[in-house]
Structure 1
Amino acid sequence: MLMEKVTEILVEASAEAVEPRFRALAEGEVMEKAPGEIVTVADREAERIIARRLRELLPVPVVGEEAVAADPDLALALATEPAAWLVDPVDGTRNFVAGSPSYAVMASLVRRGETVAAWIWQPCARTAYTAELGSGAWRDGERLTLGKATTAPEKWTGILKTRYFAPPTGHRLLANTLALGPLDPGRGAAGIEYPLVATGEHDFLLYWRTLPWDHAPGSLLVTEAGGRSARFDGTPYRPEAPGGPNGLLVATDPDQWETLRGILLEGV
């Protein structure tokens, strides 16, 4: 019941606050919340709606991207509270502002520091992805199950995000991808990128900056489909407040993850 109810909340909040503004943002409805970071009225209104309704469903703290931008201490609830909601009201805000359909509305539930449930709603595709710890991953109610990856690394494709790596490291990572298949340049939204791995369209994702509202939903989706999401040292991903650990490698199966780590992180 919880899984369906939260999906309903995201779909309805998107329909009310986000989709009417897609390719229709008025002057003054896009603001800079920090240097290089933008926010829109759609982000803020959708987060208010989602946060209120999630608290009605389960009265625990809501760690929303926009609320944390105003008060960073709110993110500490991920470590200090028995349970907390995570909300990304518009994942891929730059895409949304540019009129690109590559954006999503996301939420997850964290208990004792571990993601136990996740929701990704892609408004333009009208597609919902959900995952529940120990119970599996789904796309529109259809179970997602990843098969064993091919043993030929030169055929593996994926997304490598170098933006937040120091230039020498980013250059080395890109050089290491020559042993793999073609790179996807990325979609600018974790809620679009993670499902590409969970459905087998891509083999891997590699990130440096791992803000919890961006990565908690997709990481659970991939792992519940049979893949692996872990820090570079092999530690399983757990959502933490900004300023915590960085670096994340995601792959379609655990053996492939180990091989990819050896290839991508060689000399890094």
Structure 2
Amino acid sequence: MDKVAEILAEASAEVVEPRFRALAAGEVMEKAPGEIVTVADREAEAIIARRLHELLPVPVVGEEAVSADPSLALALHDEPAAWLVDPVDGTANFVAGRPEYAVMCSLVRSGRTVASWIWQPATATAYCAELGSGTWRDGVRLTRPPAPKDVAKLRGSVKSRYLDAAHRRRLQDNIAAFGEISPGRHAAGIEYPDVVDGRFDFLLYWRTLPWDHAPGSLLVTEAGGVSARPDGTPYRPEAPGCEDGLLVAADPETWELTRSILLAG
């Protein structure tokens, strides 16, 4: 566990952090409509993928590699084990000079996330989780305390960008019951730790790219929370294209309560 954390922090220090608020002309590109990538994303992924493969020689499913060759994501289901890598989560924040970005990876075995790591460069904070062994922040084990029982005191983030207009309108009507709804931090590697640390009580996503959600989902569930599809199916990393929704909450009771209100109608 410690070795993987070192790999992420060292790659970040080598090629990501030196470019924060210092990206040169031509170092930011559009890889798809509305999706940007930087040289830091690509260089960090190359370093992390090589070193992870040396540590455990199984396929590496990296966000940028899959962008070039989508078939690489099939390893999540076709191979007994695979690494998942998000070299710069929150690229738009990174490009804009906002500190809410992270470097993340997970280990997937038989289609299930068994270990995950999140490095937040701006605060030099390391989170990790191992299936059945707990969640840790900088070496301190974390347990998420229960969220408030009063719906009006619950704080969360709701992402509606990928919903159709009718579902978005219904969702906007439903969120009025909650105490505080935020558009989020625009980086899963910041938002999931926010649930574990108590800053958010729940998160609702629709599109769930595996490198974005596998690390944080394990972080939350190993701290006592829930990460599940709206039908209650526990989260499993899926190849890009899955838009079945994902509700994350501080504890099982909050998950059930939040689902009953957010997804009503």
TM-score, reference length from structure 1: 0.98
> How many angstroms does 1:167 deviate by?
1.8
CA distance in 1, matches of 2:133, 2:159: 30
The aligned residue for residue 36 of structure 1 is 34
Q: Match for 1:233: what amino acid?
A: D
Poorly superposed stretches of 4+, deviation over 2 Å: none
Q: Is the 8 A contact 2:206 2:243 kept in 1?
A: no
The aligned residue for residue 208 of structure 1 is 206
Q: Match for 1:49: what amino acid?
A: I
Q: Match for 2:17: what amino acid?
A: E
- Greater shift in the superposed pair: 20-29 or 147-156: 147-156
> How many angstroms does 1:246 deviate by?
2.3
- Greater shift in the superposed pair: 241-250 or 215-224: 241-250
Q: Match for 2:38: what amino acid?
A: T
Does residue 252 of the first structure (1) align with residue 222 of the second (2)? no
CA distance in 1, matches of 2:200, 2:154: 7
> How many angstroms does 1:245 deviate by?
4.9
Runs (5+) with no aligned partner, structure 1: none
CA distance in 1, matches of 2:241, 2:111: 16
After TM superposition, list the pairs within 5 Å mapping 1:1-268 onto structure 2: 3-267=1-265
CA distance in 2, matches of 1:107, 1:138: 15
Q: Match for 1:226: what amino acid?
A: G
Q: Is the 8 A contact 2:226 2:255 kept in 1?
A: yes
- Greater shift in the superposed pair: 178-187 or 91-100: 178-187
CA distance in 2, matches of 1:200, 1:112: 31
Q: Match for 2:190: what amino acid?
A: I
Q: Match for 1:105: what amino acid?
A: V
TM-score, reference length from structure 2: 0.99
> How many angstroms does 1:244 deviate by?
3.0
- SS of 2:141's equivalent in the other structure is strand
Q: Deviation digits for residues 6-47 of structure 1, max 9, x if unmatched?
A: 000000000001001000000000011111111000000000
Number of residue pairs matched? 265
- The alignment yields a C-alpha RMSD, in angstroms, of 0.7
CA distance in 2, matches of 1:16, 1:156: 39
Runs (5+) with no aligned partner, structure 2: none
- Greater shift in the superposed pair: 163-172 or 255-264: 163-172
- SS of 1:169's equivalent in the other structure is helix
- SS of 1:233's equivalent in the other structure is coil
> How many angstroms does 1:149 deviate by?
2.3
CA distance in 2, matches of 1:5, 1:76: 26
Q: Percent identity?
A: 74
Q: Is the 8 A contact 2:91 2:101 kept in 1?
A: yes
> How many angstroms does 1:185 deviate by?
2.0
